[in-house]
Every structure is written in structure tokens, then in C-alpha cells.
Amino acid sequence: MKRITIYDVAKEANVSLATVSRVINGSDVVREDTRLKVEEAINKLGYKPNAIAQGLALSKTTTIALVVPGTSIFMTGQVINGLLDVAKIYKYNIVLHSVSEGITQMEDVIDNIIKSRADGVIIFNDKLNRNELATLNSYQIPIVVIGNRISDEMIGSVFIDYENLAYETTVKYLDKGIEDIALIEDRRNPSYIRQLLRGVKKAFEERGLVFDQYVEIPKEYRSSYLYLKEYFKTHSHQMVLAYRDSQAMAVLNTANENGISVPDDMEIICVYDSKYNSMARPQISSFKIPDYDLGAVAMRVMTKMLHDENEVIDKEIELSYIYTARKTTK
């Protein structure tokens, strides 16, 4: 017999997962007719959220589920190391779940987490949405999100303020009279790119300017390199901001192929630093993101949420970044 899930209730009642979660948890912000519709669906399907949640709360497994995007495993190595080191101190086991587009969906991962009765969930997933968080919340599972600022009664977050990073960087160039600034789209990290875009736009708007140099990568192109090779045949900018090292190197290589001198004609800054930025020629200026600390602090926040019930916990923790100037900037 198929196990009835919160997804089934949401589908039957024709409402969002968040709405079902609010009804289950007795929220008073749900309209009466909507609440009745959800309760009717729960009764019709025989869904038993409270009994399951109580069972999960009483049965501790000392297991924390870690959810990472399959496309960015290489970027999360130090994050995982920091998390594991703190987990050892507090005697927790970490179970890794990977989300890969077209292979493993977040819905399936959540279902596995619930079945495994994990004590908590740490999520390093740029594409996470509120409905997925609501599903975990309905089972009263503590959650810590790495990389995005988000918090709730059962949710904490450890993050980098990418909006401010982009704002400060853009202000520095605008103050020097450099307005021809471009930001490269990154389909693998949409949330971070949205933050960067907000920061760039904010800096422009404060000076009465309009930012219109957001370079989108058409879907028909399999890589940024292939598109940028064509793009820089007819375009050039004074400064280009990219999120990942591979994109920054694509900008560097395609600029060189099209006769654009870096940094004389165009400067390049990569947000997420890696060893490859220092191996490039010229070396790419970038920001040092504290990966290890992101994981370590996230795990410590989780242990506080699980054990220090009477302690006031700061559930939104911002970590700092350090700019490293190399050879792609003047």
C-alpha cells in the first residue's frame, strides 16, 4: 500500500505544501475555507502527520542528513570537512544525499530523509524552495541551510552576503568612473547570482544609473565558454564579474581569443575563489569564501537546535569574505 505523504494532501486539496504544513502545525494565518479543505483531504487520505512527527521526535538516531547539489560536489569539499569535524565532536553521523537534475529529485531525497528518521537536515542546495522546507518542517525536523539567508522556528542558516559583496565591488569601480560593468549568468547557482545582481543594481541605482549588462547564457549553448567565445567578438566591458572559477576562466580565455587584453582592456573578478584562479595566466582576482567555516558553523548551529533548547540561538549567521587581488585587475 502506498504511503500517504504531505505531497498527496497538497495535491488533493489543490494547495501548496506550505499551506498544508501551516494547517498541520495549527497556524492561524490560514483562511478558514482553506483549512477545512486541507483537513478534509487529510481525513480522506488517512494522512497521520502528528503521529509520525511524534515518533521521529522520540526516536533519536544521532544521524544528520546532508543534502548537496550533485553539480557542485567539487565546491563543497571543505564545507563537508568542517561539518564532519564538528559532527565527530558531538558524536553525530553524517549521511550524504545528492540532488542531481534529471537523476535524483529533491522530493525523493526528502522522502528518504523522513524514512531514515534523521535527527536534523543540513542543506547545501542553491535551488531549495520554501515548499521543500515546509515538507521537512511538517515532520518537525530541524534544518540548517548553508549559503542562503533563511530562518524560521525550525530553520537556521549560515551564509555569505553575496549581495553586499557585489555592491561593495561595484561601488569601488563606479567611484573610479568605471560604469561598463558586466555580470555573467550562472545557471548552476541561480540564488547566488540573484544576490549578486541585486548588489550590482543597488550600487548603480544609488547613483541614478541603470545596470543593463547582465550577460545571460542562452540555453542552446552547452557551456559558458561556447557562448562567450561568440559574445566577445562584438562586446567588451571594463570589468566583468563571474561567480565560479570555470566561468571566470571562460571569460579570460575567450577575451584573449578575441584580442581583448586582460586587465588592460578588461578586468575580471571571480567571486568564488579556488586553486584554479591562481593557476590561470594571468591569475584571476577573487574572493576567499570560508568554506570550512560554513560547514563547521552550520553543524554547531544544528547541535544547538537539537540540544540547547533553553539557549537563545542566533539562527542567522553571516560569515565574512576576503578579497584577493591578482593579475586580472589593475
- Give per-residue pLDDT as tens, 180-233: 999 999 988 888 999 999 999 999 999 999 999 999 999 999 999 999 999 999
Q: Which fold has domain 162-289?
A: Rossmann fold (3.40.50)
Confidence at residue 150, expressed as pLDDT on a 0 to 100 scale: 79
Q: What is the pTM of this model?
A: 0.78
Query: Which stretches of the chain drop beneath a pLDDT of 70?
Result: 1-3, 7, 17-18, 27, 49-60, 70-75, 100-104, 125-129, 151, 153, 308-313
Distances from the Cα of 94 to the Cαs of 36, 85, 159, 194, in angstroms?
A: 39, 11, 20, 30
Domain ranges, ordered by start, for the chain? 1-47, 56-160+293-319, 162-289
Per-residue pLDDT at 58: 45
CATH number corresponding to 1-47? 1.10.260.40
Question: What are the helix (H) ranges across the chain?
Answer: 6-13, 17-24, 32-45, 49-58, 77-89, 106-116, 130-138, 162-175, 190-206, 224-231, 245-257, 275-279, 291-307
Domain spanning 56-160+293-319, CATH class? alpha beta
Q: CB–CB of 124/97 below 8 Å?
A: no
DSSP 8-state assignment for residue 30: S
Cα dihedral angle (16, 19, 25, 30), rounded to 10 degrees?
-170
pLDDT score, position 209: 98
Please determine whether the domains at 1-47 and 56-160+293-319 fall in the same fold group of CATH.
no
Q: What is the pLDDT of residue 226?
A: 96
Q: Which pLDDT score is estimated for 203? A: 98
